[in-house]
Chains A and B, each alone.
Chain A
Amino acid sequence: MTRDAIDGISAPDGGARVVRAVSWMVLFASLHGGFRYLGRRGMLVTARRVEMRLRREVFSHVIRLPLSFFGRTPTGDVMSRMTNDVSAVWLLLGPGMLTLVGTAISYVLALLFMARISVTLTLASLALAPVIVYTSREYGKAFHRHHRKAQESLAAMNAAVQENVTGIRLVKAYGLEGREEKRFHSTCREYYRQNISLSKTSAAFHGAIGLLAGVGVAIVLLMGGWLVIRGRLTLGGFVAFNAYLAMLSFPTMALGWVINLFQRGGSAMGRINEFLAVHAEPWGAVLVPPRKVPGAPFLEVRNLSFDYGGENRGEALRGITFSLRKGEIVGLVGQTGSGKSTLFSLLLRLYPVPPGTVFLEGRDVSGLGLDEVRRAVSLVSQDPFLFSDTILANIGFGRDVPDEQEALRAASMARFRAEIEEMPDGVQTVIGERGISLSGGQKQRATIARALLAGGELLLLDDALSAVDSETEQEIFREVLSVRSRTVLFSTHRMASLSRCDRILVLEEGRIVEQGTHDELFSLAGVYYDLYSRQMLARELEAAP
C-alpha cells in the first residue's frame, strides 16, 4: 500500500512525499511484524498445548486398554499413532491453521489492493493460481508417497542391520560376512532408489513451480506494460502490483501444502479416534462388592474356560477347577502350550474372566476392582521385562514411591542383593539400553524382587527361574516360603524343583488332568509320571549299579 503511494509520487515529482511514505512504510512493516509475532505465537503455542493434551489423553487411554488389544495391535502400530499421527494433528492445528489464516488474509487484502490498481491485471495474474495450487498439492501427495516408501526401505535396512549385529557371532562363526554384505547392499540399493525418485520428484516440483511463478510475472509484465503504455495504469501502480503479486506467490504454493496437511491430519485424527474408541478395561467393582467368606479357600477356580478369540486357536483353558489354601505352595506342570501362562494371566484378570469362575477368599474376582485383584496377586512372568531405569525404580515398580531399604530387602530375598551392591551406583544403577545390561538370570531375579516388594499375598511364578541355577532357585524358594501367609503357585520345567510343593497340578491341552502330591501323582503312572520319569530316566539308570 505504502509502496504504491511512494512510487506513484516518486516518478513525477516531489521529494518530501517520498520521505513521508517511507516513514509510513516502516511503521506498517513494524506493526505487521508485531502482529505476525503475536499471531504466530498465539496459534502455534495453542496448537502445541493441544498436541500435548492429545498425547497425554491417548497414552492414559492406551495404557488402560485390555491386554487383548496389545495382542492384536503390533507395538509399531501403537507407536506410530502416538508419534506420527499426533504430529500430523499438530501440523494441522499449528502450521496448517497458521498458514491457512495467513494465506486467507494475504489473499483478501492483496486482492483488494490489486483490484483497486487494475481489475483486468488482477484477473490475468490469477489465471495461473489454480495450476500452482494443484501442482503443489499433487507434489505433496507424491512426496508423501515416495517418502513413505523410502521410510519403509529404511526400516528394512534397519532390520537387516539389527539382525546382523544381533547374530554377529554366527556371522563370524559360519563365515557369512560376504553373504551378509550382499544382503545389506541390496537393502541399501533399494533405499537409494527410493531416495533418488524422491529427489527427482522434489527437483521437478521446484523447477515447475519456479517456472509457473515466472510465467505469472511475465504475463503481468506483458499486460501491465501494455496497460501503462496505453495510459490505463500508472508506473507506480504497476510496480506496486508486482510487489503484491510477489507477496502472493508463497501463500499460493503453501495452499497446496496446507490442503495436504489437512487431509493427512484429518485421517491421523481418525486413526487416533479408533484407539480412543476401544473400550478400556472395566476397572471398577460392582455396586456392592462381594465380601470375604470366612473359611473359603484363598483361591478357588471353578470350571474356568477361556479362549483368546479369533484365528480358530480353540480354547486355551477348558473347565479348570482347583483351589489353593492360604500358605500353600502348589506346582503347575505341563508342556509348552498346555495353558500355564494363560491361567496365570487370568488369575490376574489380564484378560476378562467370566463371572463365577475365579474366587479370592470367597469373593468373585469379576466383582472386585481390578486394582484390588492385582494388588492381591503378584505375577513373575516367563519373560523378565524390566524398564530402562534404575534398579530401585524397577524393583520398586509396584510401589508408588520405592524405598531403598525395602528394595534391598526384596533383592536379598531374590538373591540379587550382592550383585546390586557390586554395581557402580548400587540400586541407583541404570539398566537397559542406556545403562548396563543384566544377564538372563539377573533379570529373572530382579523381577522376583519386584514381585516380592509389591507384596501380593498370592505369588505366581511362571517358569520364572529357568535361567537361575538350581542351588539359587532352592535358596529363593526358601526365602519366599519363609512368609507363611504367602500362597504360591508356580510353574516349571525342572521337575526336581517340584519337591517343595504341597501339591502339583498337571495341565494338558488346557485341562487339569492330574492333581495331588508328588507321590500320589507318581503312583498314578499317568502324565506326571511320564514327564517326571523321562527327565529322571537317565539319572535312575545311572543310580543302578
Chain B
Amino acid sequence: MSNGSEFYFYEDRVEARGIDMRLLRRLLSYLAPHKGLIAIALAGLVLGTACQLVGPYVIKLVIDRNITPRTLDGMVGRIALYLAALAGGMGFLYLQMFTVSIIGQRVILAIRTEMFGRLQRLPVSFFDRTPTGRVMTRLTSDVEALQDLISSGLVSTVGSVATLVGISAILLWMDARLALVTFAVLPALLLFVELLKKFIREANREMRRKLARLNAYLQEHVSGVAVVKAFVQEEKSGRGFDARNDEYAAESIRLTNFYSVYFPGVELFASVAVALLLWQGGIRVIAGAVTFGTLVAFLEYAQKFFNPIKDISDKYNILQSALASSERIFQVLDTEVSPEYLPLSRGRKPPSEAAEGAPGEGARHSLPPAIEFRDVWFSYPKATGEEEEKREMVLRGVSFALAEGETGAIVGATGAGKTTILNLLCRFYEISRGEIRLFGRDIREIPREELRRMISLVLQDPYLFSGTIRENVEAGGAELERAVEAAGVARFAAAWEGGLATQVGERGGRLSVGQRQLVSFARSLARDPKILVLDEATSSVDPVTEHEIQGALGKILTGRTSLVVAHRLSTILSADRILVMHRGKVRETGTHQELLAARGIYHRLFTLQFAER
C-alpha cells in the first residue's frame, strides 16, 4: 500500500483573500443533516468550557475561605468540587471532540462520495483537460482541508469565543479594574500575533511549495534513474536536487526564524500581563480592595485567556484555505454532466426524422444500417472561452454506413481522425454538426443505458482494473464462460493456479501485454454486444502472441457489426469494408482489392506500411 500512491505533489496556489459568504453558506449546508450531533457538540462545548472556568474560581474560594483564614472547614468539599468540575470538563471535552470529528468525517464522506459520483458523469473532455493528479488533489487534499475546517476550525472557534466571553465576564464580575489591567496588553499582543502570522503563513505556504517541488523532482529521478545512468548525468541530477533542497532548507530556516520570534514573543507578552496584574493586583490586595484569592484566580484565568487568542488567527487561516479548497471542489460539483446522463429531451426531434421515409428508399432497404455517420463535423472541446470557429475540426463531413453484421476497418495516417470516430460512436463527445445513427436512431435519442448495452469498446491500450481476471471480464457483462473461451483467455488462464481468479495487479501489470489484450477482448464479448468498437493496439508484441490475438480477433469480429481502427494487415484484409480516412474525411471506401486497384491513398498507405524490403 505504501508504494508511491501516497505521493502527490500537486500544490494548488492558495490565494490570500477575504471570505466569500456564499461559499461559506453552501459549505455550511452540508452540516444541516447533522443538526442533532451539532447540538450535542455545542452542548458539550459550552458545558465543558463552563466546567473548566469553575476551576480557578474554586481555587480562589479555597484561598479566601480556607487558607487565608487558616481553617480546614469545607476545604475538602471545595477540592472535591474542583475535581468534579474538572472531571465534568474533561468528559464534556471528550464528548465534544469526538462528536465533532464524527460530524467532520461524515461531511467529508458525503462530499467525497458526491464528488466521485459527479466525476463518473462528467464528459470525457473534462478528463482530457484535467491531469489525473489534479483530479486526485480535489478528492484528497482539498477535501482534507474542509475536514480541518469542520473538525478543528468551526467548532473550536465557537469554543474559543465561548471561553473568551466567559473569562471576560468572570473577570469583570470579580473585579472590573483588574480585568481591564489584564486586557491592557491585548491590543499589542494581537498586533504582534497578526503581524508575525502574516509572515509565518506566507513562509509556510512557500515552504510547502518548495517541498512539493523537491519531492516531485526526487520521485521523477528515482523512477527515471535508468535514464540518468544511461546518460551519465548523476552529477547534474545531484546539482538539480541540491538546488531544490537548498531552496527548501532556506525557506524552512526562514520559517524557523519567524517561529523563534513568535513563541517567545507571545510568552513575553503573557509574562508582562502577569507582571502588570501582580503589580496592580498586589497594590489592591494590600489596599484590601480585592482578596488574595481573587488575585490568584485572575492569574489562572489570564493563562486560559491567552491561549484562544493565539489560536484565533490560525482559525482564520484554516477558514481561508478551506474556502479556497471548497471553491475548487464546488467547481467540480458544478461542472455540467455529460449530456447522456441527462433525461432525454422530449421536445427535441432529430433533424433527420423526416428523411427517414424519404422517397427512393425501397422495401429492400427497409432495414436501416447498423451504424451510419451523416456529414459529421467535430472538433475536440478546448479550454473555455475559445471561439468555436477557431478550433481545428478533426472530422469534416464524415459520412458512411455499415450494415448489420458488417466489419468496417478504418485506416489512415496518424491524426486523420480514426480514433475520433470511435469516441463519437461511444458518445464520449458531442458532435458539432451532422448526425450519428445506430439502427436508424439518432445516438442522442438513445438512452445511455441502452447505448452502453449496445456497444462494446476495446481501447488501444488494454486497460484492466485491479482485481481478478473474472472480475475484469464480468465488468463487461454476464456471459463469462463464452467470452473467455472465444477470446482465448481460458487457455492461458487454465495454466495458472488461480485460473480466472488470478489477480491481474495494478493496471493488469501482472499479465503480459498480449494477455491484457485478450482479457480486454473477453470483457467486450461478455455482454454479447450488437456493435463492437475496437481500437487496435499499435504497440507490437511478439509474433506468437500476435498470432493468438489475430486468431481471437478473427473469431470476435466474424458476423458481428464492428468498427475497427485497424493496424494489422490481417484485420484490414478480413474487413467487409475499408474506410480510408484522410485529414478528417472518409476519402475512399471499398474492399481491399477495389482500393488497391484504385491506386489512391489506400494504395500508398498499404505500400508504406507493409512494403517488402
Which of these, B140, B230, B237, B241, contacts A374 with CB under 8 Å?
B230
Residues of chain B lying within 8 A (CB to CB) of residue A165: 119, 127, 132, 135-136
- Chain A residues within 8 Å of B274, by CB: 3, 25
A170 and B459 within 8 A (CB) = yes
Residue A116 at the B interface, CB < 8 A?
no
Q: How far is the CA of A176 from the CA of B118 in the complex (A)?
A: 14
**Residues 211-224 of chain A: 1 if any B CB is under 8 Å from the residue's CB, otherwise 0?**
10011011001100
- Per the bound structure, the CA–CA distance linking A170 and B76 in Å amounts to 73
Contact B465 A167 (CB under 8 A): yes
Q: Which residue of B lies closest to A541 (CB)?
A: B573
A210 touches B89 (CB 8 A): yes
Residue of B nearest to A10 (CB): B282
Query: Cβ of A64 < 8 Å from any Cβ of B?
Result: yes
B120 close to A155 (CB less than 8 A): no
Residues of B within 8 A of A6 (CB): 278, 282
Which A residues are in CB contact (< 8 Å) with B513? 336
B253 and A45 form a contact (CB under 8 A): yes
Contact of B94 among A63, A152, A206, A243 (CB under 8 A): A206
CA A221 to CA B56, docked complex, whole Å = 11
Cα distance A214–B63 in the bound complex, in angstroms: 17
B453-474 CB mask vs A (1 if < 8 Å, else 0) is 1011101000101100000000
Q: Main SS of chain B's interface residues?
A: helix
- Which of chain A's residues have a CB closer than 8 A to the CB of B265? 33
Q: Are the C-beta atoms of B216 and A494 separated by less than 8 Å?
A: no
Contact, CB under 8 Å: B86 / A181: no
**A36-B267 CB under 8 A given contacts A29-B272, A79-B222, A214-B83:** yes
Q: Do B466 and A163 have beta carbons less than 8 Å apart?
A: yes
Instruction: Let me know if B497 is at the binding interface, CB within 8 A.
Output: no
Compute the total of residue contacts between A and B using a CB distance below 8 Å: 431
Inter-chain CA distance A78–B514, complex, in Å, is 31
Whole-angstrom distance between the Cβ of B427 and the nearest chain A Cβ: 9
Residues of A contacting B514 in the complex (Cβ-Cβ under 8 angstroms): 336
B63 to chain A: which residues have CB within 8 Å?
235
Within 113-139 of B, Cβ neighbours of A (below 8 Å) are at: 113, 116-117, 119-121, 124, 127, 131-133, 135-136, 139
Which B residues between 1 and 34 are near A, CB-CB below 8 angstroms? 1-8, 10
Q: Which of chain A's residues have a CB closer than 8 A to the CB of B330?
A: none
Residues of A within 8 A of B105 (CB): 192, 195-196, 199
A404-452 with Cβ < 8 A to chain B: 433, 437, 440-441, 450
Is A76 a contact partner of B463 (Cβ separation < 8 A)?
A: no
* Contact of B238 (CB < 8 Å), options: A59, A75, A188, A374: A59
Q: Is the CB of B465 within 8 A of A163?
A: yes
Q: How far is the CA of A157 from the CA of B455 in the complex (A)?
A: 30
**A379-418 vs B: 1/0 string, CB under 8 Å?**
1010001011000000001101000000000000000000
Do B414 and A441 touch (CB < 8 A)? Answer: yes
Q: A388 touching B216 by the CB < 8 A rule?
A: yes
| A108 on the B face (CB < 8 A) | no
The verdict on B169 contacting chain A, using a C-beta distance below 8 Å, is no
Is A335 among interface residues, defined by CB-CB distance under 8 A? yes
Q: Please determine whether A25 and B457 come into contact, CB atoms closer than 8 angstroms.
A: no
- Chain B, residue nearest A198 (CB): B101
**Contact between A199 and B609 (Cβ–Cβ < 8 Å)?**
no
How would residues 56 to 85 of chain B score, 1 for a CB under 8 Å from any chain A CB and 0 otherwise? 000100110011101110011001001100
CA distance A345 to B228 in the complex (A): 13
The main secondary structure of chain A at its interface with chain B is helix
- Is B249 part of the contact surface with A, judged by Cβ < 8 Å? yes
- Find out whether the CB atom of B70 lies under 8 angstroms from the CB atom of A211: no
Contact count band on A: 35 or more
> What is the distance, in angstroms, from B178's C-beta to the closest C-beta of chain A?
13
Query: A176 and B475: CB pair below 8 A?
Result: yes
CA separation between A400 and B285, bound complex, in Å?
A: 77
Given contacts A29-B271, A155-B1, A211-B87, contact A41 B257 (CB under 8 A): yes
Give min CB distance, A239 to chain B, whole Å: 6
Contact B219 A152 (CB under 8 A): no
Task: Say whether A172 contacts B249, CB under 8 Å.
Answer: no
Q: B246 at interface (Cβ–Cβ under 8 A)?
A: yes
Contact of B218 among A41, A79, A441 (CB under 8 A): A79
User: In the complex the two chains form, what is the Cα distance from A374 to B248 in whole Å?
Assistant: 32
Contact A350 B226, beta carbon cutoff 8 Å: yes
| B6 lies within 8 A of A76 (CB) | yes
| A538 engages B569 (CB within 8 Å) | yes
Binary interface profile of A, 186-230, with partner B (CB < 8 Å = 1, else 0)? 001100100110011011101110110011011001100110110
Q: Is the CB–CB distance between B540 and A463 below 8 Å?
A: yes
Return A325 CB to nearest CB of chain B, in Å.
21
Q: Quote the shortest CB–CB distance from A535 to chain B (angstroms).
A: 6
Once bound together, how far apart are the Cα atoms of A184 and B93, in whole Å? 33
Q: Are B610 and A496 in contact (CB under 8 A)?
A: yes
Q: Which residues of A contact B236 (CB under 8 A)?
A: 400
Residues of B within 8 A of A285 (CB): none
Give the 10 A-B CB pairs with smallest separation, nearest first. Answer: A499-B613, A493-B540, A199-B101, A29-B271, A335-B542, A76-B3, A203-B97, A214-B86, A10-B282, A52-B249
Additional pairs, 13, CB under 8 Å, beyond known A77-B3, A79-B215, A164-B119: A25-B275, A29-B268, A41-B260, A76-B3, A158-B6, A166-B463, A169-B457, A176-B475, A214-B89, A228-B70, A336-B512, A345-B226, A539-B612
Could you jot down 18 A-B contacts, CB within 8 Å?
A: A67-B225, A165-B135, A169-B426, A173-B456, A175-B448, A175-B452, A188-B116, A203-B101, A211-B87, A214-B55, A214-B82, A214-B83, A225-B66, A225-B75, A345-B226, A454-B231, A467-B539, A499-B612
